[in-house]
Amino acid sequence: MAEHNITGNIGEALAREHLEKQGFAIMETNWRRGKHEVDIIAYKEGLIVFAEVKTRRDLEHGTPEEFVDYKKQRAYVRMANDYVVKNKREEEVRFDIISVYIAPASEDCYIEHIENAFSPVELS
């Protein structure tokens, strides 16, 4: 497995653990629709969170969340719509970004959970 895939898998595992510690139940991981994928779909108290996880081992080219561009956000909104329709869900939906930085020398991990990182209205 390529190094970036290993890093991504570690980041997603840390993000799931982070959400569970906040009381979220993980409903889906790596949920696919066509060529797109939602990293984590989680539920807590009437709220479904669609979370994009970005993990980096260096910040030379920017922070992880800077890589969630307009195109990725639009794909997430479309997938969320597909998910709630397909599964007949009526809960509120939120789009979060979970940014994971793994320091290369120490392997220390830093997680930033950006709630309401974007909304469907912003993308119209």
Decide: helix, strand or coil at residue 19: helix
Q: What is the pLDDT of residue 103?
A: 81
Residue 120: which pLDDT band, with cuts at 50, 70 and 90?
confident
For the chain, the average pLDDT equals 89
**9-23 confidence digits (pLDDT tens):** 889 999 999 999 999
Cα separation, 92 vs 46, in Å, equals 6
**58-89 confidence digits (pLDDT tens):** 777 777 778 888 889 999 999 999 999 999 99
Q: What is the pLDDT of residue 102?
A: 87
Q: Is the pTM of this model over 0.85?
A: yes
